[in-house]
Amino acid sequence: MNKNQASGTAKKGLFRIIFSRTGIILLMLLIQLGSIAGSIHYLQAYLPYIYGTLIVLEAVILIYIINTKGNPAFKMTWMLCVLVFPVFGVIFYIFVQMQVGTRFLQNRLSTLRIETAPYMQQDPEIVENLWASKSANAHLSYYLSRQLGFPTYRNTSVQYFPLGEYKLGAMLSELKKAKRYIFMEYFIVEKGYMWGTILEVLKEKAKDGVEVRFMYDGMCAISMLPYNYPKQLERFGIQCKMSNPIKPFLSTTQNNRDHRKICVIDGKVAFTGGINLGDEYINRKERFGHWKDTAVMLKGDAVQSLTMIFLQMWNVEERRPERYKKYLTPKKTELHRGLGYVIPYADSPFDNENVGEEVYFHILNHAKKYVHIMTPYLILDNEMITTLTRVAKSGIEVIIIMPHIPDKWYAFAVAKTYYKELIESGVQIYEYTPGFVHAKVFVSDDDTATVGTINLDYRSLYLHFECGVFIYNNPEIDRIEKDFKKTLKKCHKVTLVEAKERSLLTKLCGHVLRMVAPLM
């Protein structure tokens, strides 16, 4: 190819980007931001005349922030924004609080929870048995069931997958067995071997009369999938939706992404965990070294909760009544005591409950010997820092495995600002030297674990839609702990000296970003 041809190809590529839907959306968002900035600049020109009003309004906003419900870290960040940027901070805060879309989603999800409640009833006998086994877990069960509608189940087998490629093999096998329906909900879907292989199975199943519903987060439309991708799948008989599609309007709901990963087959089998539908998740494509990720497969009674969690999200914008009874899990009559207890749960940014963080707190607060954690991000609120350090100071072994090769430099820079305080308190931090850890795992005392989609950062704990599975007294917990120890052998232990000897630029970036981390 000569220089003129290369130049022409580059221009065509640039033209496609600028005039693509993504380019137009970005342009419109920039125009809106420019309009807000222009309005603020205009107001600043008249600042001497409205200074008194601004001071009163700023004071009112600060008092309001202090008295609202919510995490202190979010309050402090907003207060800092209002104080440092009086005009912009006040206008931006009012803009965020006046979002109509947020209230709609909150009300709609509340209605859907009421609709699904009859199919999420707690069996009182299970709770009685749990009280006799471990009262602390009975308290967690009470909270998840009574407050949020997530019951505790027995008669549920768990299979743990220590890598994405293992999960893919099992999921393909189960998808091929589908007779009635397949529900799938994923954060990332990218064209390649993994998604292409799954899609071929879904097309065959839809052709055979199996009901297939597929949902993915709207962020995929930015660079991974065409905006009309749902219509493309519908040609194959697959019902498809974008969750929270990206639109060319400034809205805080754009920040509430669907980070869940759920696959339900015939109400009998379900998968969840950190693994998305992209080739890096099965180590077929290398991005940040070896990709360490995990998932679980459930078979049995607990599948019903993940079915209902999927249907709640699917029906957010639907107006047709859902036939929930059609998708119920056939319950087993015999009790298999050796399978222990399983609680699938979900987290929403609109229910004023930090479910994922509460489950993590529960495991930390009731550990007797150890808590072992794998997480890709470490951006902690004050409550989590206090809990981690207190547990470690109490003589309980707390080990966190982090990536050695990060996917986001800024998130890694913020994470390192916590290393020194955690290590001084006795928390051991390791970095996975072969590459990137994307797993979200807590395992404790050989009898308790949770595997899901929830990272240790503000986005997962407060802003995203998430899900996970709490597991107690199930034999698969032993495999989760063995995988943690096997992974630990491939890690480098971060010393206190290393935590202190960060470059000046890394320290500066980390501490500045940490101030605004709750809004990132």
Q: In tens digits, what is the pLDDT along the chain, a chain of 520 residues? A: 554 544 444 444 444 444 455 666 666 667 766 766 666 666 666 656 666 677 777 788 888 888 877 777 777 777 878 777 777 777 777 777 776 667 788 889 999 999 999 999 999 999 999 999 999 999 999 999 999 999 999 999 999 999 999 999 999 999 999 999 999 999 999 999 999 999 999 999 999 999 999 999 988 888 889 889 999 999 999 999 998 887 755 566 677 899 999 999 999 999 999 999 999 999 999 999 999 999 999 999 999 999 999 999 999 988 889 999 999 998 887 778 789 999 999 999 988 899 999 999 999 999 999 999 999 999 999 999 999 999 999 999 999 999 999 998 888 889 999 999 999 999 999 999 999 999 999 999 999 999 999 999 989 999 899 999 999 999 999 999 999 999 999 999 999 999 888 777 777 887 787 777 776 6
Q: Given 316, 340, 364, which residue is the final one in a domain?
A: 340
Cα distances (Å, whole numbers) of residue 232 to 12, 267, 314: 25, 26, 18
For residue 289, the one-letter residue type is: G
Residue 363, helix vs strand vs coil: helix
Q: Where are the alpha helices (DSSP H) in 342-495?
A: 355-365, 382-393, 409-424, 458, 476-488
Same domain, 328 and 403: no
Same domain, 314 and 217: yes
**Amino acid 10: pLDDT:** 42
Say if 311 falls within a structural domain: yes
Same domain, 66 and 183: no
**Amino acid 11: pLDDT:** 45
**Amino acid 162: pLDDT:** 98
Domain range enclosing 21: 13-101
Say if 64 falls within a structural domain: yes
Q: At a CB cut-off of 8 Å and minimum separation 6, what does 378 contact? A: 400, 402, 414, 415, 418, 456, 457
Same domain, 228 and 91: no
**Amino acid 8: pLDDT:** 46
Say if 19 falls within a structural domain: yes
Q: Given 101, 132, 167, which residue is the final one in a domain?
A: 101
Same domain, 361 and 331: no
Say if 348 falls within a structural domain: no
- What percent helix, strand, coil does the chain show, rounded to 5? 55, 20, 30
Same domain, 179 and 325: yes
Same domain, 255 and 155: yes
**Amino acid 510: pLDDT:** 78
Same domain, 209 and 322: yes
Same domain, 295 and 190: yes
Is residue 23 packed enough to be buried (19+ CB in 10 Å), middle (13-18) or exposed (0-12)? Answer: middle
Would the CA dihedral through 55, 57, 58, 63 be positive or negative?
positive
**Amino acid 377: pLDDT:** 96
**What CATH number does the domain containing 312 carry?**
3.30.870.10
Say if 111 falls within a structural domain: no
Say if 229 falls within a structural domain: yes
Token readout for 187 is 């954060």
C-alpha 432/C-alpha 485 separation (Å) is: 12
Say if 2 falls within a structural domain: no
Say if 464 falls within a structural domain: yes
Q: How many domains does one find in the chain?
A: 3
Q: What are φ and ψ of residue 11, in 5° steps?
A: -65, -40
Same domain, 81 and 202: no
Same domain, 326 and 371: no
Q: Given 340, 364, 395, which residue is the final one in a domain?
A: 340
Owner of token pair 């009731």: 366
Same domain, 307 and 378: no
